[in-house]
Amino acid sequence: MKYLFFPFISLCLLLSGCQTEVKSTHTSKKTELVISAAASLQDALKEIETAFQKQHPNVTVTNNFGSSGALKQQIAQGAKADLFFSAAEEPFDALVQSGDIDQEHIKDAIQNELVLIVPKDNSSSIKSFQDVKDIKGKIALGTPESVPAGTYGKEIFTKLNIWNQVKKNAVYAKDVRQVLSYVETGNVEAGVVYKTDALVSKKANIAAEANPDMHSPIIYPVGIVKATEHLTEAKAFFQFLQSDTATSIFKKYGFQVS
């Protein structure tokens, strides 16, 4: 029997080594998180992700920036996404109602403001949203049906009773960053963007800031997509978005933190 004992011990050691190796491989596994986020978030979010990845080196973050309405459609149709960070409540709530967002992991994270911008190098007579009715050139807006900033802009011009005049000169963009680009290049005389977009631009000036009571509240909800295959990592990033580090970065770029 003593001769059988040593092979048994060897076998146990071998199995123990195999188990240890498998466990080690699992813990060091690389994971990719896909974040579908409103275009207005890209500067702040990229900096937050850099800070997150320093603490979670095995997690790679890939961004899918666009208009909140378009991103909502993509997620509803099964596009790969682990978190959705919207620039408005309506498209986000639609995914919550359809069951595409995990209701246990949602938060109204930040808020923003709406502004009217003009090209920096051009002298403009536009000093208020009301002045847009007399615009001689074009004004850029996000497509109201899919771009929240465009929706908010339309609400303002409708309350001012000048929407019919404004839409005759409107150039619609796929997201708020395209609006910013149109203004920066001088292709339009003015544009409606978020204050955070205007603050990062060196080629556009803020002509007017919207009164908050002229449009719906600009709230950015964030949540985990229920179909995520990386729930542990998604939870970690979701929590990091609420950390002091993320809060300070959001504030740095002009967002208001709830």
Distances (CA, A) of 82 to 11, 73, 89, 185, 246: 42, 15, 18, 35, 18
253 annotated as belonging to a binding site for a ligand: no
Residue-level pLDDT, tens digit, the chain, 258 residues: 444 444 444 434 344 444 433 333 334 689 999 999 999 999 999 999 999 999 999 999 999 999 999 999 999 999 999 999 999 999 999 999 999 999 999 999 999 999 999 999 877 889 999 999 998 899 999 999 999 999 999 999 999 999 999 999 999 999 999 999 999 999 999 999 999 999 999 999 999 999 999 999 999 999 999 999 999 999 999 999 999 999 999 999 999 997
Alpha carbons 217 and 239: distance in angstroms, whole number: 24
The pTM is what? 0.85
194 annotated as belonging to a binding site for a ligand: yes
40 annotated as belonging to a binding site for a ligand: yes
17 SS3 class: helix
* Domains of the chain, start order: 31-111+218-257 (3.40.190.10), 114-214 (3.40.190.10)
